Amino acid sequence: MVLIKLFGTLRLKTGCKHATAEITHVKEACDILAAKTGLSPKEFKKCVIAINGKPSNFHASLQDGDELAFFSPSGGG
């Protein structure tokens, strides 16, 4: 089971703080979150991704017990 956490404006947009799922790739998490929140999977692809606190990417593999975090991209100016 993988714990999926959402941070930043992504959390505000979805109203979802976290979810759990039996998945093996980050892409699967994007698809699950999209179905659960009604957002496009593309919204999750734009995020900064971390696995167990270490930077990762959309194509990464996951193992049972991992913590997957999605951080909204920030803007400024």
DSSP string of 15-26, one letter each residue: ---EEEE--SBH
Phi, psi of 41 (to 5 degrees): -55, -25
pTM of the model: 0.89
Asked if pLDDT for residue 6 goes beyond 90, the answer is yes
pLDDT digits (tens, 9 = 90+) for 21-72: 999 999 999 998 888 888 888 888 889 999 999 999 999 999 999 999 999 8
| Cβ neighbours of 17 (radius 10 Å) | 10
